[in-house]
Amino acid sequence: MLQTDAPTTHGSSGGPILNLDGQVVGITTLGVPSTEGPSFLSEPEITIAVSSNTVKKVVDDLIKHGTYKHPWIGINVFDIDPTIAQVMDLSEAFGVGILNVTQGGPAYSAGIKSTANAPYAILKVDGNLVRKKSDLVNSIDNKKPGDSVVLTIRDNNGIWKDFIVKLGQMPEEVVPSSLPQRFGLLGPNAAYTCSVWFGVITSPGQ
């Protein structure tokens, strides 16, 4: 996402954000109004836009099919903080824990059987280190349904394994419809409430 203070007005959503060379760098998504007065009377002081790099990834599908096919891995995840790392007997706090796996989903079909009582930890995706949920989200977001990823996982017995996961298409019933629910892995906060991001689901405020 991009943030700009370039002047916009109500109804600008869907319009382009241009740089000084006239190149489209983003698509206007949300205006944040002044804190003074009713929001519907205030013009946005800050505008949030989807970056053009993100738009490029979905535009072909939108033109051909009228919708974007979200890549889906079918796991609920959480960041591993120092306390959780100690409980999971990890040498340092990095990676993401798998809270549970959607039965019949891509990760489940690949043999990943993590549960809340005996969580696995994802430490790498395609050989790249995963330090937090956003690393995993970005890796999945760069793929399409049908692509495969290699997840390097430490199971609850401390054994490292590589799992080849063929990504599926996110089922319609879980396709997010609002801005905070953009991507698709699931991750709980301390109360195990959650919000959705693109091909993986992440927790709010983290």
Mark whether 79 and 34 lie in a shared domain.
no
Query: pTM of the full predicted structure?
Result: 0.66
Mark whether 100 and 194 lie in a shared domain.
yes
Pairing of strands 75-79, 71-72: unpaired
Mark whether 198 and 135 lie in a shared domain.
yes
- Tens-digit pLDDT profile for the chain (206 aa)? 788 877 777 777 888 888 889 888 888 887 776 665 555 455 666 788 888 887 887 788 788 888 888 899 999 889 998 998 888 888 888 899 998 899 999 999 999 988 777 789 999 999 999 999 889 988 998 898 999 999 999 988 889 999 999 999 988 766 544 333 333 344 433 222 222 333 344 433 33
The sign of the CA dihedral 80, 115, 202, 199 is positive
The total domain count for the chain is 2
Return the biggest CA–CA distance within the chain: 58
Mark whether 76 and 142 lie in a shared domain.
yes
| Two structure tokens written together for 185 | 């892995």
Answer yes or no: is 64 within a domain.
no
Integer Cα distance of 136 and 171 in angstroms: 19
Mark whether 82 and 168 lie in a shared domain.
yes
Mark whether 52 and 100 lie in a shared domain.
no
Distances (CA, A) of 137 to 34, 96, 134, 140, 184: 32, 11, 5, 5, 8
The 3-state DSSP class for residue 135 equals helix
The sign of the CA dihedral 88, 91, 94, 95 is negative
| Two structure tokens written together for 120 | 């696995």
